[in-house]
Copies of this chain bind each other. A is one copy, B any other.
Amino acid sequence: MPNVPAGGAGEVSGLGEFGLIGAVVGRFAVTPDVLLGPGDDAAVVAAPDSRVVATMDLLVEGRHFRRDWSSAHDVGRKAAAQNLADLVAMGARPTALLVGLGCPPDLPVDWATGLADGLADECALVGATVVGGDVVRSDHVVVAVTALGDLEGRAPVTRSGARPGDVLAVAGRLGWSAAGLAVLGRGFRSPRVLVEAHKVPAPPYAAGPAAAVAGATSMVDVSDGLLQDAGHVATASGVVLEIDTATLEVGQPLADAAAAFSADPLEWVLRGGEDHALLATFPPGAALPDGFVAIGRVSAGEASVLVDGVPATGLGGHDHFRS
């Protein structure tokens, strides 16, 4: 940690805006995609495909994370992960992040550097890095992340390409984050594996580009819940997505926590968000890439989601203004 000037020692106000930026930029890797990194009016990032895939998420303290539950490193990893997941859900290779941090002047410098380390560590999982951003003062901590990626010559895999006859498949965990939130909400800190899953999702990064290579006809990042995100694909594609719950894996920690709370673990699996699994459709007969498990099929009809043949009602998931 750099020397902290007098006045708010150990707090970001002591470093000032430019001191804070100086304290974090050295923590970000310089990858071959970084043509001009932090420190100028803008960054320059390689876009070898001549197209760039871009997505943005905003995380607000008290809504998307709690500083008493999650470390700064956790928040950094989560903020990066949910954006990187959006990129791989298009079949893209993530290249770079831009990060805006709004924070109160008394935020500990350690928190800001911990956030930077979390962002850097999550980026490192996919070979990406942070190339720029902004730091401003705000009453609550706000983290804005934009992620950029490259399509490597492939067509983007959108939500609108699912066709009747396709296989519906998922890669990654479902319901773990929701179960972890339930655990934390009841005042517990364990099972740790669920709490960790809530604090830091583990998107199946490699499965996204692999699905694109394998010919996936549609793909979505499951951020709002399986049923809700399946609903988005059904609507965009104008098809019916049929889910067979018998094929959905209910992890043992979920089953255990559900038993302890008298909850139905399948509800977490079907409606829990923030695990950032990938839901994709593949042409009939296509070999599913590593990590994908078939959970149903696509059929013709009015856009909807069927769960074991029954129309899903109240698709659940998260609406930021209604919960």
Contact = CB atoms under 8 A, between A and B. Distances in A.
Given A50-B50, A100-B57, A41 B142 contact: no
Contacts of A90: 40-42, 44
A86 interface: yes
A258 interface: no
A64 B52 CA distance: 30
Nearest to A55: B42
Contact of A319 (B17, B138, B156, B219): B17
Nearest to A98: B56
A236 B39 contact: yes
A220 B321 CA distance: 39
A220 B43 CA distance: 13
Contact of A136 (B53, B64, B136, B138): B64
Contact of A221 (B41, B96, B236): B41
Interface string A134-159: 11111110101011110100001011
Nearest to A105: B321
Given A60-B136, A138-B63, A156-B36, A54 B322 contact: no
B56 A148 contact: no
Given A146-B98, A156-B36, A320-B17, A53 B63 contact: no
A50 B53 contact: no
Interface in A104-155: 105, 131-140, 142, 144, 146-149, 151
A51 interface: yes
A87 interface: yes
Interface residues of A, number: 74
Contacts of A319: 16-18
A287 interface: no
A51 B33 CA distance: 9
A41 B75 CA distance: 21
A321 B16 contact: yes
Given A54-B146, A58-B136, A142-B58, A42 B321 contact: no
B58 A89 contact: no
Contact of A53 (B43, B87, B99): B43
Given A131-B54, A158-B36, A136 B320 contact: yes
A306 interface: no
Q: Which 5 A-B pairs have the closest CB atoms?
A: A144-B144, A42-B55, A47-B47, A58-B100, A146-B146
Given A58-B144, A136-B320, A138-B140, 19 more contacts: A17-B319, A36-B156, A41-B86, A42-B86, A42-B147, A44-B54, A45-B51, A47-B50, A47-B51, A47-B52, A54-B98, A54-B131, A56-B98, A58-B102, A58-B136, A60-B102, A60-B138, A142-B142, A148-B148
Interface of A: 12-13, 15-18, 20, 35-36, 39-60, 63-64, 86-87, 89-90, 92, 96, 98-102, 105, 131-140, 142, 144, 146-149, 151, 156, 158-160, 219-221, 236, 319-322
